[in-house]
């Protein structure tokens, strides 16, 4: 089952109480001539390599249990072949599962007919693709307005809405251009504007930034976070890049061979890997740059007067280390929205910078 959130943890806050928008339950996908028979083998414990060798079937997903919460960015990551792109295509039933449930607002979409699924894809779930998927013969405005056009909106209505979102993603004045006249980063901005213009409840982003150059990719990540702070969309983001996952995710799901290895708040996973596979994944991460004060602070009303200053709970540890100028005896009062919520000493920071070994 999906791991429940522990609201006693130092990084837990009121966002942890957001309602579940999509709940994935015991989801399996097996590719082959007789997936139902192969499913029984998997449920008996057969893994992906063994299934391929013994049964000539490919295990795409194995007993996936994930809750996607309203207004959060859920990042699903893993290496090539881990099942992440297969999983996201189950959410709008572009791929049919072998077994399981996908509950959208509490209703299992696996029971929906073709008409209901068309409405789901048109109105409830928009998709941003790695390769942009823009129509070359249509202008930037027409591409951004595609979802509204297919719903029957008048041109004056959809052009106004598309222009508004193009302005919001930094493409004001480019509406009459064609995709080939734009850079890769600008084309992906059109893709994001198109998803936002559709006003869908959920944005599905499948390796949306991985085709971009590093600097442009960073800009797009920053744009997504900026938009998310304003709009609070429900986003499912697929990536193979851990740095990107840690930067974007409210909830992180790590896959290997079609199964969830670990999921939870990214800071918690980084501090508490539960598997050697996760341990290897996080080994080379710049922990000081990624870890936040809230993850290592001592929670509770600060006491005493010997504070070297105040730090916000969302500052990274690198900034605190720089402020301390190497001194190991300093102690800081931690604030959230200007109010004291905990304390942080340098010893806790140093301990957090040492990767934890998985026991056993």
Residue 1: its pLDDT value, please? 41
Integer Cα distance of 102 and 65 in angstroms: 10
CB proximity list for 79: less than 8 A, separation 6 or greater: 240, 256
Residue 27: its pLDDT value, please? 98
Q: What is the pTM of this model?
A: 0.85
Residue 328: its pLDDT value, please? 86
**Residue environment code for 72-86, b if the CB has 16+ CB neighbours within 10 A, otherwise e:** bbbbbbbeeebbbbb
Closest residue by Cα to residue 336 from 73, 9, 5, 13: 13
The pLDDT tens digits for 294-310 are 999 999 888 877 899 99
Query: What's the rounded mean pLDDT across residues 318-339?
Result: 90
Residue 115: its pLDDT value, please? 94
Is pLDDT above 60 for 15? Answer: no
Is pLDDT above 70 for 360? Answer: no
The pLDDT tens digits for 127-173 are 887 776 788 999 999 999 988 888 878 887 888 889 999 998 889 99
Instruction: Go through the chain and tell me how many residues it has.
Output: 360
Q: Which of 57-71, 122-136, 204-218, 300-314 is most confident?
A: 57-71
Rounded to the nearest 10 degrees, what angle do helices 35-43 and 48-55 cross at?
130
Yes or no: is domain 14-285 CATH 3.40.50.300?
A: yes
Band of residue 50 on the pLDDT scale cut at 50, 70, 90: very high
The pLDDT tens digits for 104-134 are 999 999 999 999 999 999 889 988 877 767 8
- The architecture (CATH level 2) of 288-352 comes to Roll (3.10)
Query: What's the rounded mean pLDDT across residues 36-43?
Result: 95
Integer Cα distance of 338 and 317 in angstroms: 18
Average pLDDT in the chain: 88
Is pLDDT above 50 for 4? Answer: no
Closest residue by Cα to residue 324 from 342, 299, 346: 346
Query: What's the rounded mean pLDDT across residues 46-69?
Result: 95
Lowest mean pLDDT among 3-17, 31-45, 75-89: 3-17
Residue 102: its pLDDT value, please? 97
Query: What's the rounded mean pLDDT across residues 262-278?
Result: 91
Q: Of all residues in the chain, what percent carry a pLDDT higher than 70? A: 94
Return the domain boundaries, the chain: 14-285, 288-352
Q: Which letter does DSSP use for residue 122 in this model?
A: I
Residue 359: its pLDDT value, please? 64
Q: Of all residues in the chain, what percent carry a pLDDT higher than 90? A: 56
The pLDDT tens digits for 237-262 are 999 999 899 999 999 999 999 999 99
């Amino acid at each position: 089952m999906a791991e429940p959130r522990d609201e006693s943890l130092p990084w837990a806050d009121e966002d942890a109480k957001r309602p579940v928008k999509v709940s994935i339950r015991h989801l399996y996908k097996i590719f082959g001539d007789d997936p139902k028979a192969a499913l029984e083998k998997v449920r008996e414990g057969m893994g992906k390599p063994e299934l391929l060798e013994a049964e000539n079937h490919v295990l795409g997903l194995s007993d996936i249990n994930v809750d996607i919460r309203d207004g959060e960015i859920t990042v699903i990551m893993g290496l090539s072949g881990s099942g992440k792109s297969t999983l996201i295509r189950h959410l709008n039933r572009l791929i049919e599962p072998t077994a399981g449930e996908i509950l959208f607002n509490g209703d299992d979409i696996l029971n929906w007919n073709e008409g209901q699924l068309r409405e789901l894809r048109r109105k409830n779930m928009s998709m941003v693709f790695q390769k942009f998927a823009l129509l070359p013969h249509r202008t930037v405005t027409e591409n951004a307005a595609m979802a509204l056009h297919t719903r029957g909106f008048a041109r004056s209505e959809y052009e106004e809405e598309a222009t508004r979102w193009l302005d919001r993603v930094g493409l004001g004045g480019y509406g009459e251009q064609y995709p080939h006249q734009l850079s890769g980063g600008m084309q992906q901005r059109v893709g994001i504007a198109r998803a936002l213009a559709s006003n869908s409840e959920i944005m599905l982003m499948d390796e949306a930034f991985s085709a971009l150059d590093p600097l442009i990719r960073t800009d797009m990540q920053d744009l997504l976070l900026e938009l998310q702070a304003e709009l609070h969309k429900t986003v499912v983001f697929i990536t193979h890049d851990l740095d990107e996952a840690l930067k974007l995710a409210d909830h992180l799901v790590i896959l290997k061979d079609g199964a969830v290895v670990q999921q939870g708040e990214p800071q918690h996973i980084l501090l508490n890997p539960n598997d050697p596979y996760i341990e290897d994944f996080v080994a080379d991460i710049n922990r000081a740059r990624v870890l936040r004060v809230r993850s290592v602070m001592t929670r509770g009303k600060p006491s005493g007067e010997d504070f070297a200053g105040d730090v916000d709970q969302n500052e990274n540890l690198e900034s605190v280390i720089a402020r301390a100028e190497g001194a190991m005896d300093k102690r800081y009062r931690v604030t959230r929205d200007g109010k004291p919520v905990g304390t942080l000493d340098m010893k806790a920071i140093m301990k957090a910078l040492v990767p934890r070994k998985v026991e056993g």
